[in-house]
Copies of this chain bind each other. A is one copy, B any other.
Amino acid sequence: METLLLDRLLLIGELFQRDMARAFDGTGLTTARVHLLWVLQHAGPSTQRDLARLCEVTPRNITGLVDGLEASGHVRRTPHPTDRRSVIVELTSTAADTMARMQGEHAELNDTLLAAVAPEDRAALERGIAAIATRLETLVVEAAGEEDQAAS
């Protein structure tokens, strides 16, 4: 039985997750926490409310993740300069270094995987994956829209 392209894509996603989880193992970091660090690195210092929106989770969840990351020394809570309700979360310098290193490894992995593809196939591969990602994103957005409609 031939393997569907879809199954290979799912396998790739699983392998990524497993590899990431293994890389964090022993550091006290988890997938959810690294995701938050990643978002912080890209967005810069942010309120917890903004982090909740960017991560698409509840504010309550951000409280828990920030609690953990603060305890492990990866982030710092500072008061908002004008809004006393808000809290600004920012990476510590060691965490910023860690994230920069991770981004480097990420680019390196990208190159390693691309090197496994025959040079004459690369352009078509890039186009095909971009097309699939776009199509899938449309499908997911449509499905979510229908659900919202059904719920109202």
Taking A5-B113, A5-B114, A19-B140 as contacts, is the C-beta distance between A12 and B132 under 8 angstroms? yes
The reply to whether B143 and A116 contact each other, CB–CB distance below 8 Å, is no
Classify chain A: how many residues form its interface, as a range. Answer: 35 or more
Copies of this chain: 2
Taking A121-B128, A125-B128 as contacts, is the C-beta distance between A15 and B112 under 8 angstroms? no
**Chain B residues within 8 Å of A116, by CB:** 131-132, 134-135
Over the window 107-148 of chain A, the binary record of Cβ atoms lying under 8 Å from chain B Cβ atoms (1 yes, 0 no) is: 101101110111011111111111111111101100110010
The reply to whether A129 and B4 contact each other, CB–CB distance below 8 Å, is no
A sample of 18 inter-chain contacts (CB < 8 A) reads: A4-B106, A6-B109, A8-B129, A9-B9, A9-B16, A10-B16, A12-B132, A15-B137, A15-B140, A18-B140, A19-B140, A22-B144, A109-B139, A113-B132, A113-B136, A117-B127, A117-B128, A125-B129
Measured CB to CB, the residues of A under 8 A from B are: 3-19, 22-23, 25, 106-107, 109-110, 112-114, 116-118, 120-137, 139-140, 143-144, 147
